[in-house]
Structure 1
Amino acid sequence: MGDNSNTLRNSGITLDSILTPAEGERKTKIVCTIGPASWDKETLVKMIDAGMNVCRLNFSHGDHPTHANTLANIRAAAAERPDRQVAVLLDTKGPEVRTGFLANGDHVMLEKGSKVEITTDYDFKGDETKFACSYKGLCSSVQVGGTILAADGSLTMKVVEIRETSVVVEMLNTGKLSERKNMNLPGVEVDLPTIGEKDENDLVNFGVVHNVDFVAASFVQRASDVHKIRDVLGARGRHIKIISKIENEAGLHNFDEILEASDGIMVARGDLGMEIRSQAVFLAQKWMIRRCNVVGKPVITATQMLESMIQAPRPTRAECTDVANAVLDGSDAVMLSGESAGGSYPLEAVSIMASICREAESAINHPKLYNATRTTVNIIQNGKPLDTPEAVASSAVKTAMDMSAKVIVVLTETGTTARLVAKYRPVVPVLVLTADPEAARQCEGLLRGCRARVMGSMIGTHSILLRAAEISHELGWIQPGEQLVALHGMRDAVSGQSNMIKVLTFEKREDEGDEDEDLKDLVE
């Protein structure tokens, strides 16, 4: 909330902070795209150990049997690390505009200054003078003087003539065009459904059937797109959280309504950088992240974060700075794409990203960040009181700061209370206890600073808090004589009733003749 300089450590940057690696629990989450470089169980276990929190399955590629095999490996790997809750994210193909097939079946060179015709007849086999486009509405969507990009922006074209079933463009640079390459129409609201037949099939017959935790919806342009996805998921998929990917100008224009309808946002910088000026992507990133932070919904920053590590064992200095600045901007998670899916160094990419996140987090002044968040929320509330769950969550974070508590414990049914605690960016770790495995994966997957454990039951608050203290001690978060802050409801196992804060002191049991360090009852 506000500019980064206001929330950096007031002690400033010291030589020690530069030369000494940051330690402690990493708060920012890491989303990893899983592909041929990483889809075997042994590699997945190592990626979990390195810091992976969410496995992304990209449904722009692959078929259901391939993804099902990958998912089975993910769950087998997660079973070997029961103290980690590894979430799964299904990323939809979404509406795509692609070039067609070529007569030579390979590629053609398009020369700068040449005139090329783009036809909407997708059966046409193209050459260097004419190629096909999959978007039937091309001719009615573009204007003379408008820009068309192809092949990840490597080809730039200017529209010079619009015909009934084709447009003529002038090539603004020389480049290679292969078959079935993506196309972007900057500034144009493409008239294609956000959820097509393939997406519906992927959501219903894979996402729901295989119980994924998140759906990343590609090219969301308005709130109604999100509502459509919820309808497609239906009652059986109501637990699945929807992360809306903002990838074009329409998504930016309608951002607030999209955010309200969604469970989270992905700043998808790849296509966004072709739909708006690439020089302005950093502004869009900061603008979206701040809006997500204000309402307490998780935001993922994605695309080309450690791109050079697809081939190199170390990232560029600019990439390290990019990841760090995404953390300082307020990202709840950062994402690896080709680096982990098809790169030569997937484990190193996860490990380095985790270390960059820790370094960036160590530069944050959390008390100032908390105060900035409260100030922003108060302005938005405009004199209206906070809802009870948020007021209690905010107070728990403040209490932990004031008392130098070492951990915040949240007892939750659905994860809502944990999300509200994460909104206020506590400096200490948050331990989320729930009886719902899905809620546990979703909390640990994308909520900043949260670790989760699944309990057999949420009945018996006192015994659950005892177990929370044990877990916190096992994780090295708390030592005898130190305090924790607990947040729970007055009634056990009731959703939306978190309205009690307790400050508890952790003690160890010292039974006569027993040298083992156990736990005795927490002292309130």
Structure 2
Amino acid sequence: MRRTKIICTLGPAVDEENIFLELAETGFDVARLNFSHGSFDEHKKRIDMLKEYNHKNGDSIAILLDTKGPEIRTGIADSKVDLEKNQQIILTTREVKTTKEYISISYKHLPEEVHPGDEILLDDGLIALEVIGIENDEIICRILNSGTLGSKKGVNLPKVDVKLPSISEKDKQDILFGIKEKVDFIALSFVRRPEDILEVRKLIGVSNEDIQIIAKIECELAVKNIDGILEVSDGVMIARGDLGVEIPIKELPAIQKSIIQKARIIGKPVIVATQMLDSMIRNPRPTRAEVSDIANSILDGTDAIMLSGETASGLFPVESLRTMNEIACEIEKDLHILEPMHFKKLKKSESIVDLIAYSTVDIGRKIDAKCLVVPTSSGGTARRVARHRPNSPIIALVGKEHLTKHLKLVWGVETISMIEDYEGTDHLIARGEEELLKRGRYQKGDVVIITAGIPLNQAGTTNMIKVHFLGG
């Protein structure tokens, strides 16, 4: 059973029902809808297909809406323009065609926010410019490397604190669409500060608290503010595409490891994304480097790994997912090599719930428990147990459908829906035991660890550990 969760981006490559069904049956946990592309109608069809699949198969693939985010782009070019190293070029806020002399940019305030010596990157960093002067609405630059520029290419500004709004008007409309369609997660692009997350929470409102917000870390300012962002978000995505443009590429591996560690310490899910099997967009087999990248992300302790263009628009969507599944399952055969969350790394202010979670995992390892059973009303205890990466599967007994979806992003957690009222802890455990035995993976006499809270259904009250023999 795979412990690391997998996110698949849906798109034209899997819109045909038979291909989508093959993808779903191969096994993934969360469907990503990339709102940088596609219309509401296209995304609505994919959401309906997901909901129908979940209903027919008793499954619970969660839905993640990924916003486009605020962005700066170049203007239109009649044809691709060759830019030569050391030549001067002018960026202007006026609408002009891209030539060897001028490039139009979409952000009107950029001349006010850059300074001589700043670097401006075009087309995912393929072309670098250095600012040498500013005159009114024009930024005079020197081309640092030769390249070819087409239309509407992205502009990145490493080390420049651009005053773009945290969410664009398009993002707002997309989020409102997601609320209407009852998506489970919103991934907010180009987060820079904790306040960006709070602005989206305000837009979502208290009536839609079942939607969790994932902060996409893809600029240097977000890395600097990571502690505050983790505090107010429900999880983070290390979006290595733009992040690898915004920061020196050599720093990316260490930043990935650091963010994963920080997220695990506070029990927030973390996703590693972008170019994980990029070559499989075109080829049926991955490169050796891609296999190692996935393996090392899992060994770093990520909760989830993500496929983007591989499943959205690639030639081999099902093969890409199958490959990712196989790599994850192979690495997880030796769970002891996953870096443990040592108790000494936990905060001194950890609560009784955290101590109980740690002890549950510790006892489970020592007695080789078949599984760890975690009744949870908020998902918090399951996340606390999961951050220690136990050898035993984590079975969360949940009473709310949205919790089943939210835990789809948490490493090693499987869920059993228990939507009914209970007379007490013993009744709940008995019902959970019935469901475990029904699954066929467990049998009478198996030893399991149960951690629960008394009274039931109150978040943050986990205070009990029980060693239990199924059917005993």
1:325 is aligned to 2:296: yes
Q: Distance in 2 between matches of 1:151 and 1:425?
A: 39
1:33 is aligned to 2:9: yes
Q: Distance in 2 between matches of 1:194 and 1:61?
A: 19
- Partner of residue 312, structure 1: 283
Residue-by-residue CA offset, 1:478-513 (whole Å, 9 max, x unaligned): 233211112222233333333222222123xxxxxx
RMSD after superposition: 1.8
Residue-by-residue CA offset, 1:287-314 (whole Å, 9 max, x unaligned): 1111111111110001101000001111
Shift of 1:476: 4.7
- Partner of residue 5, structure 1: none
Greater shift in the superposed pair: 128-137 or 490-499? 490-499
- Partner of residue 412, structure 1: 376
- Partner of residue 75, structure 1: 51
Q: Tell whether the 8 Å contact from 2:299 to 2:339 is kept in structure 1 after alignment.
A: no
Shift of 1:474: 4.7
Q: Distance in 1 between matches of 2:277 and 2:339?
A: 27
Q: Distance in 2 between matches of 1:312 and 1:457?
A: 49
1:174 is aligned to 2:146: yes
AA of the residue aligned to 1:68: K
SS in 1 for 2:12: coil
Q: Tell whether the 8 Å contact from 2:301 to 2:339 is kept in structure 1 after alignment.
A: no
Q: Distance in 2 between matches of 1:361 and 1:214?
A: 26
1:213 is aligned to 2:188: no
Shift of 1:463: 4.6
1:145 is aligned to 2:117: yes
Q: 2:75 aligns with which of 97, 100, 121?
A: 100
AA of the residue aligned to 1:238: E
Gaps of 5+ in 1: 1-24, 508-522
Q: Distance in 2 between matches of 1:260 and 1:338?
A: 30
SS in 1 for 2:13: coil
Shift of 1:199: 1.1
1:335 is aligned to 2:306: yes
CA 1:42–1:431 in structure 2 vs 1: closer, same or farther (change >3 Å)? farther
- Partner of residue 89, structure 2: 116
Q: 2:220 aligns with which of 249, 254, 263?
A: 249
1:277 is aligned to 2:248: yes
Q: Percent identity between the aligned chains? A: 39
Q: Distance in 1 between matches of 2:152 and 2:26?
A: 36
SS in 2 for 1:349: helix
Shift of 1:88: 0.7
SS in 2 for 1:405: coil
Superposed, 1:11-90 pairs within 5 Å as 25-82=1-58, 84-90=59-65
TM norm structure 2: 0.95
Q: Distance in 2 between matches of 1:196 and 1:320?
A: 36
Residue-by-residue CA offset, 1:120-164 (whole Å, 9 max, x unaligned): 12x323223212111122212222232211111222222222221
Q: Distance in 2 between matches of 1:462 and 1:40?
A: 47
Q: Tell whether the 8 Å contact from 1:40 to 1:73 is kept in structure 2 after alignment.
A: no
Q: Distance in 1 between matches of 2:391 and 2:345?
A: 19
Shift of 1:369: 4.6
Aligned length: 471
Q: Distance in 2 between matches of 1:476 and 1:183?
A: 54
AA of the residue aligned to 2:45: N
Residue-by-residue CA offset, 1:457-482 (whole Å, 9 max, x unaligned): 14244454344334434545423321
SS in 1 for 2:364: helix
Shift of 1:186: 1.1
SS in 2 for 1:37: helix
CA 1:57–1:363 in structure 2 vs 1: closer, same or farther (change >3 Å)? same
Q: Distance in 2 between matches of 1:365 and 1:375?
A: 18
Greater shift in the superposed pair: 239-248 or 306-315? 239-248
Superposed, 1:229-240 pairs within 5 Å as 229-240=200-211
Gaps of 5+ in 2: none
Q: Distance in 1 between matches of 2:187 and 2:178?
A: 11
